[in-house]
A = this chain, B = another copy of it.
Amino acid sequence: MLRDDITTAIRRALMQELAAVGYGRLSIEAVARRAGVSKTAIYRRWSSKLELVLEVVAAAATSKLPALDTGTLRGDLTLLFQVVAHALRHPLASQIIPDLLAEAARNPTIDQTLQQVLRARQQEIGGRLISRAVRRGELPADTDPDAAVDLIVGPLYWRLAIARTPLTPGYLGTLVEAVAVGLGAKSTLPRQREAPVSG
Q: Which residues of A contact B (CB under 8 A)?
A: 19-22, 24-25, 91, 94-96, 98-99, 101-103, 105-106, 115, 118-119, 122, 140, 142-144, 146-151, 153-159, 161-165, 171, 174-175, 178-179, 181-184, 192-193, 195-199
Contact = CB atoms under 8 A, between A and B. Distances in A.
A163 B103 contact: no
Give the dominant DSSP class at A's interface.
helix
Q: Which of A19, A102, A153 has the most CB of B within 10 A?
A: A102
Interchain residue pairs A-B with the least CB separation, the first 6: A182-B182, A154-B154, A99-B102, A154-B158, A154-B155, A144-B199
Nearest to A157: B158
Given A155-B151, A159-B154, A19 B179 contact: no
Nearest to A25: B24
Nearest to A180: B182
B103 A101 contact: no
A197 B99 contact: no
Contacts of A25: 24-25
- Number of this chain's copies in the assembly equals 2
Contact of A95 (B102, B147, B148): B102
Q: Which of A105, A143, A182 has the most CB of B within 10 A?
A: A182
A151 B165 contact: no
A150 B119 CA distance: 22
A38 to B, nearest CB: 26
B155 A159 contact: no
A85 to B, nearest CB: 12
Contacts of A101: 98, 161-162
Nearest to A160: B150
